[in-house]
Structure formats: structure tokens, C-alpha cells
Chain A
Amino acid sequence: MEDLSLEKIEIQGPTLASLIQRASSSPCDVDGLLFGQIHRIVSTTLSDDSPATSSSSTDQIVATVTSFISSGKTVSFYDPLGRVDSLRVDSLRVNSPDHLLGWFSARRTSPNRPSMRELTVSSSLSSRFQLPIENSVNPNSASSSVFILLTTPLTDQLIHTHEYRAYQFKPLNRRLEPRSLGIVNIGPAFRGHYGSFNPKSGFPELLCEVSSGSSAMNEDRDDEGSSLSGKKQAVKDQKEVDALADGFQVGSLKRLVGVEAASFTGGIEEMYERMLAKVESLASEVEKSSAKVLELDNHNRKLRYRVARIER
């Protein structure tokens, strides 16, 4: 299915907020990549009368933006002609496991219509990248054709400060067609989303108890070999746990399940505390590195200005 039409494009409130925040706090125009998924939502409407048409189900193909990454400038993953460079896309998305849904462009004091370059970038991006459609009847894929445009009005206004529009690139007529941008929230109106919900947890699959059971079953296996692989596994598990909660023993996780669990509240608290400590130390590291990045950024700006002979 080449020319698949999206019913609408949806975005989570916090994602949109942080996208607008990113656009308004950056010193200049920026662009970046949008991640998310495309899924088929089947909504069934039941009615009391006329059994022949008692239920009708409608299929909607909906794109949901779940996250984004900003490049901090324009002409980041494409050239001035708008041709997308796959290598630059890969280096910008930095191993993000999310599917590439499309891209965004944020520019100040300009008309809220796609520009010449934006159209070409959308065309080039959608011809190179694809993502699967979740919940699809037959396994299908769609192109990364979503484009979100953020602008500010031409004249300064007190109330109306930002505008955003969503588009889908249609290869058939080579056009960016406007789509409504829905903001996803909790509530009955968004029930359809739960059907295609996939949990995404960073917590590792730990063998713990199961591992001891399996070694018991495999009696014919060499004991030393088993303990060696068991040790290796334990070290690996410990590493993964360390990534989340520094210094918490992987062995204690065993007690999270089974009969001991009820009396293990203290252990869980310990794990959370260690997780918090880890997050805090990460936060302070991020802060320090952000300061360094800002310093470098300012230095780069000075150099760029000097090259462009801008005096301040």
C-alpha cells in the first residue's frame, strides 16, 4: 500500500509541550526527527435497534507522535536542496529504538505554510524510511511521511504566540496534505489507543528463580559449566540492575516474588532509594555537561559570527 492516507496525527500533550518549548527556547530556527507509531484503530459503535446494522466498525489509520529529537539547527539531516542523508539521520537519532515517523521544522516570524525545502525533505524522507503499521490486518508498512510545522506570527502578538500544523506527505500528488493534530489524553475518547498499547520497560528480564529451576532440570549438564554460565549470567544481570539502581544486589530481587514478598517492603524501598540516587547523580551529571555544551555552543556562535562578519 503505497499511498496510505492517515486519518489524523496524534501527539501526547507533554510531547507537544516540549516540542513547542524546544522551538521557542532555541536561538534560531530548528528542525528534527519525530518518532512514534502508526496503528490501525478499530472503533465499534453498537446501537440498540435494527439488528441488521447493529454494529459498524470503522478502521482508522492514525499516526501517534511519542517523542522527538531536535537537531538545534536547520539543514541538519538533509542538504540545502532538501535531499535526506540517511547517515545523518542515523547519527541524529542515536540508536533510538523508536520508529521514525517523520520530521518537524520550527521557524519564527514566517508564514505557516510548508516551504520549498520542507516539501522536498518530506518527499525525500518518506521515500527512504518506512515503519510498520501496528494492529494491521495483514502486515503492512507505511512511509515516514508526517511533518509538523511550528511557526510564530509575522508580527509580535501578546496572546497568539505560536502556531502548529501537521501534514502528511502524499507521494501520489507530491503534496503535503494538512491533517488534524489531536492531543492524546486519558479518558474514554482515547480508549482505542489502549488496544495498540505496547509496554516499553527498560527493566531487564532477569532469570533469578527460574534459572535455579532450569539448572535442576538439566541434570546431565556439566556442573562446572553450568555454574560458569550461571556466574556469567549473574554478572550480566548485576550490570543491568546497576544501570538502574547502583549497588542493589540482583539476588535480592528473588525475594520480590513468592512467599517472602510480603515481608520485603524494606527491600523494595532500598531499591527505589538507590534508583533515586542514581537518577539524581545522573541529573547533576547532565547539568554539568549541559553547562559545558552551552559554553561550547556560545563559542561556536562567536566563531560563526566572525566568519559571517556579524558584529555584536
Chain B
Amino acid sequence: MASSEAFPPLIADQLHYLLNHSPDSIKIENVRSGNKFNPKILDRFTLVIPYCMDTIKWDVIYNSEYPASPPDFIFGPDDEDFMPCSSTDDSLLDKVLSEWNNQDSTLLLALVQGLRDQYVAYQRKRVGQVDDDRVKFEISTVLTRKGIEMQMTLGADKPEEVKFAVPLVMDMSINKLVVGCPWKNEQKIYLQVVYPILRKYESAPSSPRLKLVPSSDLKALFSVEDVKLPPWMDGMCLAEYLPHLEETLERQILEAISAIVLRRSFVEALTIFLGRPLEADPTFCRKASFLAASGPFPFVVHFFFPTQFPKQQPALMLQSCQHLNQLSEPVKLNLLTDYPWSPRWEVGRMAERLCDFLTDEAVNFKKYCNEALLQH
């Protein structure tokens, strides 16, 4: 995009407000202009909106010649039945559109939020119309849960499926448990359940596909790949399955939070041998860098901690302070993960053994650096 291309200032304000304040991380793509004489004035774009663990794309069309008018929306090709403006009961959309004021930068977000809410209801209605006993039963039993999003996938080349995104309820707020939590939005874990729709010739419904999806920032604390999903028994339903899963997850998240404390105490134990760290991740203690020396040879040790610490040992990376490679970057060694380690040691012993290993390894590293320099 050329630097001179820009949205009219008031539209830009609305857009920035939308991107910075939306609870869902909305993205924007395909910015373009509909203006013949001033094609550098942008006035239309595509919003990529997270929905049901997937995204939906809506085109937003302003008119740059009349930037004071509210925008128009074009929904996805599969959603031609989605008619938010025709349902007369939605006074919010009515109000925002009929009392549009282009000086108020919050209105675009209000409009998109209002439309998304209607979209949730629209998809739920579509899923409700599916002629499948299991889906009908699941809807009737999980309706008491809040925030469930549903989606119907139809396609000539795809099998018919109904997708649920269920926010898992835990008796705690992950954000509050993390000391010095940097996250703007409340972190959650969703369970995505995909039900294949029963075809006429099939007698028994196949079990749904299950997948855990965390909010984007959660990976610093907790990796859902480490969670082993409880098995889905034949004839099981979501209402039976969820409480057990939620309990398991709750326990694992509490473990992950106590792992922060362990990592921190390990970093603290390292300072006895290596001095103050150059840099350390204070919230989740996933990274720490120390300056070390072997005789006159100074080097930096980077520690990368897995979420499974101390079951898994940290990965180390050595970086020379004196040697540069051909690209004028400091010479580094590949990640070291193979060294003596036992999760049963206490942190002081872990740090001690690790520093012993470093002392030996530093000699090899120095040799490696000098060889690299000679080749250069």
C-alpha cells in the first residue's frame, strides 16, 4: 500500500476504534477505493471477524464522496439468508444506522457488534432447523450455557456438519491468577465440537470431532496440546462430557500457574551461579538470558522454559559476545536440550548441575566459535 493512500480521517478514526476496542481480534484486509477520480481515498475494506473458532468475512462499503453516510455491509456468499435489518425487533441497529454521526468513532464498532450478535442468533436458528436428532438433543441440553456459538457448514463438496464452539466454564479467572497479568481480554478455552450430520443410510451417529482452542495469548502459560481429551463414549452427549473436561482443565491450569513459581525460583537459583540475568520474562518466566564467561571468553546463555517445566528441562542457547559470522551476526549454537537433568532434583541442585554442564560446554563452544572464525 502506497503511503499516500489513506482513509478519510473520520472513517479512519472509526476503523482504529474498531480494531483497538473489539473484544474479538478483528482483522482488516483488502483495503481499496471506490472513487474514480481520487483512487487514493480508501473507502472499502473486508473485515475478518472471528466466529465459532473460525472467521467470517464481511465487506464494509463506505462512499468516499459522501463520507458522512453510514457504511453498507456485504455478508459472506453462504449467508444470503442473513438479513439483520429486516428483523424489526433490533432497535440497536436501527438506532445506530438512523442516528449515524460520523464524528462518533465508536459507532462502527457498535454496528459490527450488533450485526455479530444477530449473526450468532441467525446461525443458531439455522442449526436448530437441521433435521438430526442428536443435534436437536444437544441444543436442548446445552442451551443453559452462555456464549455458545454455532455454525452450519454446507457445501457441494463438503459433508454437512454442525459446529459448536463452547466456552468452558471454570471456577476461576485465569487472568486474576496470573500475577502481573498483561492480557487485555479475559483468557478462555473453548471446546470445538463438530457433529457430522447423519446421512440417510447411516444407522448410528459417529462421534463428534473435538478440539480445544485457547484464546490467543494463553499459550504463554499453558499449551492445550498437552491436554489429553477424555474419550467420547458411544451415546454420550455434551452435557455429560463437559463437566469432566472442565474439571481436568481446571486442575491443569492451576498446575501451569504453580509452574510459573517453580520457574521463577529456578531463575533465582541460577543467579547464585551466573549473577543477575540480562533479561528475563517476569510474568510467565518462559525466557531468561544470562551473561557468563569461561576464562576471558564471555558469552550469553539464553534459557527457554517449556510450559511442562520441570518435567521437561529448559532448552539452552549459547551466543558468543566476540565472534560474528559472515552475516555479521553473533555466532550461536543450536538449542541444547540433552544434558543431565532430573525433575526430582530441587531447584538449587538443578541450577548447580546445569552450571557444571555449562562450564564444560563453554570450552567446546569457544572451540566451535574459533573454528567458525577461521573458516570465515
| Interface residues of A, Cβ cutoff 8 Å to B | 24-29, 73-75, 79-82, 107-111, 113-120, 123, 154, 174-175, 301, 304, 307-310, 312
Contact = CB atoms under 8 A, between A and B. Distances in A.
Contacts of A73: 63, 65-66
Give chain A's interface secondary structure class: loop
Interface residues of B, number: 40
A80 B41 contact: no
A309 B65 contact: no
Contacts of A120: 83, 85-86
Contacts of A27: 35-38, 65
A118 B85 CA distance: 10
A110 B85 CA distance: 20
Contact of A115 (B32, B61, B64, B69): B61
Interface string B4-38: 00001110000000000000000000101111111
A31 B138 CA distance: 46
Interface string B61-79: 1011111111011110100
Contacts of B68: 304, 307-308
A123 B85 CA distance: 11
A70 B340 CA distance: 80
Contact of B81 (A175, A307, A312): A175
A74 B66 contact: yes
Contact of A308 (B30, B80, B102): B102
Contacts of A74: 63, 66, 69, 72
Contacts of B73: 115-117
B94 interface: yes
A80 B100 contact: yes
A37 B348 CA distance: 91
Interface of B: 8-10, 30, 32-38, 41, 44, 59, 61, 63-70, 72-75, 77, 80-81, 83-86, 93-94, 97-98, 100, 102
Contacts of B41: 310
Given A110-B61, A154-B32, A308 B74 contact: no
A81 B99 CA distance: 10
A113 B66 CA distance: 22
Contact of A82 (B33, B66, B85): B85
Given A108-B34, A109-B44, A80 B83 contact: no
Q: Which residue, of A113, A174, A308, has the highest number of chain B Cβ atoms within 10 A?
A: A308
Contacts of A79: 98
Contacts, number: 113
A195 to B, nearest CB: 36
Contact of B84 (A28, A75, A116, A301): A116
Contacts of A29: 34, 61, 63
A115 B65 contact: no
Nearest to A82: B85
Given A113-B77, A116-B83, A309-B8, A81 B94 contact: yes
Contact of B66 (A81, A174, A304): A304
Nearest to B100: A80
A142 to B, nearest CB: 21
A113 B74 CA distance: 7
B65 A301 contact: yes
B98 A119 contact: no
Contact of A154 (B30, B69, B81, B94): B30
B65 A174 contact: no
B176 to A, nearest CB: 40
A111 B41 CA distance: 19
A116 B85 contact: yes
Contact of B38 (A109, A113, A312): A312
B5 to A, nearest CB: 12
Contact of A75 (B69, B85, B93): B69
28 contacts: A24-B36, A26-B36, A27-B35, A27-B36, A28-B65, A74-B66, A75-B63, A75-B69, A80-B69, A80-B70, A80-B98, A108-B36, A109-B33, A110-B59, A111-B59, A113-B77, A116-B75, A116-B84, A116-B85, A117-B72, A120-B83, A123-B86, A175-B81, A304-B67, A304-B68, A309-B9, A309-B10, A310-B9
A308 B10 contact: yes
Contacts of A111: 59, 74, 77
Contacts of B34: 28-29, 107-110
A235 to B, nearest CB: 47
A75 B61 CA distance: 12
B74 A115 contact: yes
A304 B86 contact: no
B67 A28 contact: no
A81 B74 contact: no
A217 to B, nearest CB: 63
